[in-house]
């Protein structure tokens, strides 16, 4: 009967997933031993000794001894004596220790695991299914794509938790069965009431549930760590790629008078930024990230305009090239083409000037406006600004090119105004307020005349709907 051996092994210590059950698991000593006077009868002493040591014997030995024990002539007498003693000592389970009070900490852990979706009903199948589902719905919701990684990891934890829990449960049942068998067997040689067995089972279950609590505890910890690492995105903040920042800055400085991109514009910016960065490790940039960026940018720009002047000039000049080119194209177009078909001229590919004239025009414009020496003062910046405005508002009113150019007017305006105030700002006086910012520091509503919606856009531009 190898069951005996297995019980012995089980009693020696149960090892589960690294946790070993030690101490407290041993069977309680048979009751009433200390009630017997020493050396009452040699036979009894022998039998007791055999009972005590039977578990140490090998299988065959034990089998033989047990047989001998059961056939011993004194056995019935000893049994009744043991029964009597046991009754007298009255150790027969008092109160059965009431039902274990629900441990508040255990309840807390249970609740948390349930709330985290670790111990609750399985939703979404396996980890792969969950991840796939998250990825599938990613296009619709930013949340799920952001948290798909988190969910995958959570499912992992959940799986580990469940398998471990099952293992514990199984081991607990196995162990209980073994102990019960052992006790039943022993009940033939010593008196054991069903109550006692019940109590033993209770003890075993308590031991195992304390181990389960450890498991729950560590699972909770794991979930907490996961939470803090994944849900708090600040922990894994990555800087945007150079290109993405450039795109965002371009938009910002070319819409300086009203740097509040519409939802649509944000989406487009996010798409653009994501495309340009798609190859790299850099995460795709979401609409909410664009919103964050603009929020940060606005407040930081406003807070310390001086610090952003260089950058502003850079981007303003950069887009000013586009604007200038657009204007030039428009002018040329209006001169050479029929005003009724301005589009054909305006849609002239940007690659042209980006290839052959971007460099020269860029430096030209930059030098012209900002003055490479840094001391160049634009005496008639206001005139230039006005001329620009009239260019846009009057000469081409009604023509769609004017609408398109409008979005660049901010840029030119900015370059001009920034240039005008450049030395002052560098001197530490940041009192000067650039166009688009009112005295209170708010972006006033520059009433852009019907020009905000541009039906024809250059390849590099983002749909700019400044209404709203």
Partner DNA sequence: ATGAATGATTAAAC
Partner DNA sequence: GTTTAATCATTCAT
Binding site for DNA (CB under 7 A): 232-240, 245, 260, 263, 288-289, 291-296, 298-300, 302-303, 307, 441-443
Length of the chain: 468
Name the minimum Å distance from CB 23 to DNA: 40
Name the H helices within 34-141.
42-53, 59-71, 75-89, 104-116, 127-136
Compare residues 96 and 299 and give the one whose CB is closer to DNA: 299
Compare residues 73 and 235 and give the one whose CB is closer to DNA: 235
Compare residues 71 and 281 and give the one whose CB is closer to DNA: 281
Between helix 194-226 and helix 104-116 the angle, nearest 10°, is 50
Name the minimum Å distance from CB 258 to DNA: 10
Compare residues 208 and 293 and give the one whose CB is closer to DNA: 293
Q: Which run of H or E residues covers position 15?
A: strand 15-16
Compare residues 63 and 430 and give the one whose CB is closer to DNA: 430
Name the minimum Å distance from CB 179 to DNA: 49
In this structure, which long-range contacts are made by residues 372-375, counting pairs with CB atoms below 8 Å and at least 24 apart in sequence? Answer: 374/422, 374/423, 375/423
Name the minimum Å distance from CB 427 to DNA: 19
Q: Three-class SS of residue 437?
A: strand
Name the minimum Å distance from CB 403 to DNA: 22
Where does residue 62 rank: exposed (0-12), middle (13-18), buried (19+ CB within 10 A)?
buried
Name the minimum Å distance from CB 273 to DNA: 10
Angle at 90 between CA 29 and CA 77, to 5 degrees: 70
Q: Are 261 and 251 in contact (CB under 8 A)?
A: yes
Query: First vs last Cα of the chain: how many Å apart?
Result: 85
Compare residues 168 and 293 and give the one whose CB is closer to DNA: 293
Compare residues 220 and 287 and give the one whose CB is closer to DNA: 287
* Torsion sign (Cα): 36, 42, 47, 51: positive
Q: Are 347 and 456 in contact (CB under 8 A)?
A: yes
Name the minimum Å distance from CB 264 to DNA: 11
In this structure, which long-range contacts are made by residues 197-203, counting pairs with CB atoms below 8 Å and at least 24 apart in sequence? Answer: 198/96, 199/93, 199/96, 199/97, 200/27, 200/28, 201/176, 202/96, 202/97, 202/100
At 278, give phi and psi (nearest 5°): -55, -35
Name the minimum Å distance from CB 453 to DNA: 18
Compare residues 253 and 294 and give the one whose CB is closer to DNA: 294
Name the minimum Å distance from CB 308 to DNA: 9
| Radius of gyration (C-alpha) of the chain in whole angstroms | 42
Compare residues 153 and 325 and give the one whose CB is closer to DNA: 153
Give the count of beta carbons closer than 10 Å to the beta carbon of residue 40: 10
Q: Three-class SS of residue 19?
A: strand
Compare residues 15 and 228 and give the one whose CB is closer to DNA: 228
Name the minimum Å distance from CB 314 to DNA: 12
């Amino acid at each position: 009967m190898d069951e005996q051996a297995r019980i012995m092994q089980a009693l020696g210590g149960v090892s589960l997933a690294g946790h070993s059950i030690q101490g407290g698991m041993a069977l309680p000593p048979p009751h009433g031993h200390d009630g017997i006077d020493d050396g009452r009868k040699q036979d009894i002493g022998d039998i007791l000794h055999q009972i005590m040591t039977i578990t140490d014997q090998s299988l065959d030995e034990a089998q033989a001894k047990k047989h001998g024990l059961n056939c011993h002539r004194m056995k019935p007498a000893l049994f009744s004596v043991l029964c009597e003693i046991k009754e007298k000592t009255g150790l027969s389970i008092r109160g059965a220790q009431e039902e274990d009070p629900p441990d508040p900490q255990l309840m807390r852990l249970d609740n948390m695991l349930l709330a985290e979706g670790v111990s609750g009903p399985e939703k979404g199948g396996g980890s792969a299914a969950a991840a796939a589902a998250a990825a599938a719905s990613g296009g619709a919701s930013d949340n799920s794509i952001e948290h798909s990684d988190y969910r995958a990891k959570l499912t992992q934890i959940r799986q580990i938790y469940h398998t471990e829990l099952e293992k514990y449960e199984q081991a607990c049942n196995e162990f209980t069965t073994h102990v019960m068998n052992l006790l039943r067997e022993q009940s033939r040689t010593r008196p054991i009431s069903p109550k006692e067995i019940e109590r033993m089972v209770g003890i075993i279950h308590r031991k195992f549930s304390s181990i389960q609590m450890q498991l729950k505890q560590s699972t909770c910890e794991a979930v907490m760590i996961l939470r803090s690492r994944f849900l708090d995105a600040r922990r894994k903040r990555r800087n945007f790629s150079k290109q993405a920042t450039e795109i965002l800055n371009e938009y910002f400085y070319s819409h300086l008078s009203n740097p509040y991109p519409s939802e649509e514009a944000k989406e487009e910016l996010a798409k653009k930024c994501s495309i340009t960065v798609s190859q790299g490790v850099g995460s795709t940039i979401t609409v909410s990230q664009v919103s964050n960026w603009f929020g940060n940018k606005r407040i930081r720009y406003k807070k310390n305009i001086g610090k952003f002047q260089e950058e502003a000039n850079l981007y303003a000049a950069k887009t000013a090239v586009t604007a200038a080119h657009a204007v030039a194209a428009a002018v040329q177009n209006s001169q050479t083409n029929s005003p009724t078909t301005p589009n054909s001229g305006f849609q002239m590919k940007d690659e042209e000037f980006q290839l052959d004239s971007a460099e020269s025009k860029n430096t030209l414009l930059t030098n012209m406006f900002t003055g490479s020496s840094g001391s160049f003062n634009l005496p008639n910046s206001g005139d230039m600004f006005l001329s620009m405005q009239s260019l846009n508002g009057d000469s081409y009113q009604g023509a769609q090119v004017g609408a398109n150019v409008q979005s660049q007017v901010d840029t030119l305006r900015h370059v001009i105004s920034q240039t005008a105030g450049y030395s002052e700002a560098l001197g530490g006086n940041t009192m000067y307020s650039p166009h688009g910012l009112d005295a209170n520091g708010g972006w006033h509503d520059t009433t852009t005349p019907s020009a905000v919606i541009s039906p024809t856009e250059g390849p590099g531009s983002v749909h700019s709907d400044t209404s709203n």
